[in-house]
Chain A
Amino acid sequence: MATQSQPSGSDRLEESIIALLLGVMTLMTFANVVARYVFNSNIFYALELTVFLFAWLVLLGASYAVKKTLHLGVDAVVNAVKPTVKKPLGLFVVAVCLIYALLLLKGSWDYWAPYANLPPTSGRWFPTGFVEKYRGQGWYETQDIPVPFFLTWLETVFNEGEAYEKMPKVVPYLVMPLSMGLLVYRFIQAGMRVWRGEQDMLIVSHEAEDDVAQAAQRLKAEEQGQK
């Protein structure tokens, strides 16, 4: 069950970003429909931009969901084991999650770095150093999204001063290393909570857990009211 404590500063920041991304996605798609039927035109970059916002929402949100223990899982077995087994099991799960996040962090860096004219790492499992010979791909652009005025400095940094016609890919793909880094950080925190015994699972059993508790209270209150 998610703890209903006072939201911290980082909670509020993350929650605002989640709400904002989802809100902008919705308005953007809606505006495109309005443009098509009312103004007989088309926001040609709406779909691509919405897809990127969607990716940012889910990938950044994944680490928030670790912090709030929102990730879906199967708790039937875990709930049945003896309390003494719970902690080692929890630590094992944390280890699996950390390995996953670390491997993907390396993968994300290797994927993103060329778009930022940075070297990817060498090594198959572990980063053993940086590749010395690589081809920067800073000139790769998205299909439709224009470069907003406040990002024109990108061309001096990533494209040797040559103006971008569209948003360079370095921007949307940035979310990969960013989100996986955050994921590692949150899994470490969760691992420490499990170690200290403040939490024994990294999962909830289903999406509506909080709502069910509220509904049960409402029902109980109503029944007591009748008696």
Chain B
Amino acid sequence: MTVLNVNGKQHEVNADPRTPLLYVLRNDLALNAAKFGCGLGQCGACTVLVDHNPVFSCVTPIAALEGRYIRTVEDLGSADKPGPVQRAFIEEQAAQCGYCIPGMMMRAQALLEKNAAPSDAQIREAMAPNLCRCGTQMRILRAVHRAAKLMTVELQGTEAKG
């Protein structure tokens, strides 16, 4: 039995501890945002956050994750109430087929939590591990810039209310 903290909830998972997190998310916990792309840590479609770092969930066994803080796209917002990164990707229409987008959003989220106003070069460097075969990279780049602005506005709005 492995206990995983996913999006702030504790889950008792009955799976082989060698199982990569991606399969537990999708098959056991029905969190289907993270995608299977290559299964080899090469493409980034399965990217989730572990303790605020972007990781490839397809090559991260759950044995490594007890007591750590896992986040997926489901934590960023919902279809009704999309979070700032999701809103930015929708507003920039950054998806073509959309398969890589959950991983892209998680990597963008990790970047923006460390750097609220990244430069073009910093975004390109941070996003480089995640691949998009449709060719929407320029829209993704714009979406990350837009998400940075939306997050700043949201943060300032919250502070003003508080």
Question: Is B a genuine binding partner of A?
Answer: no
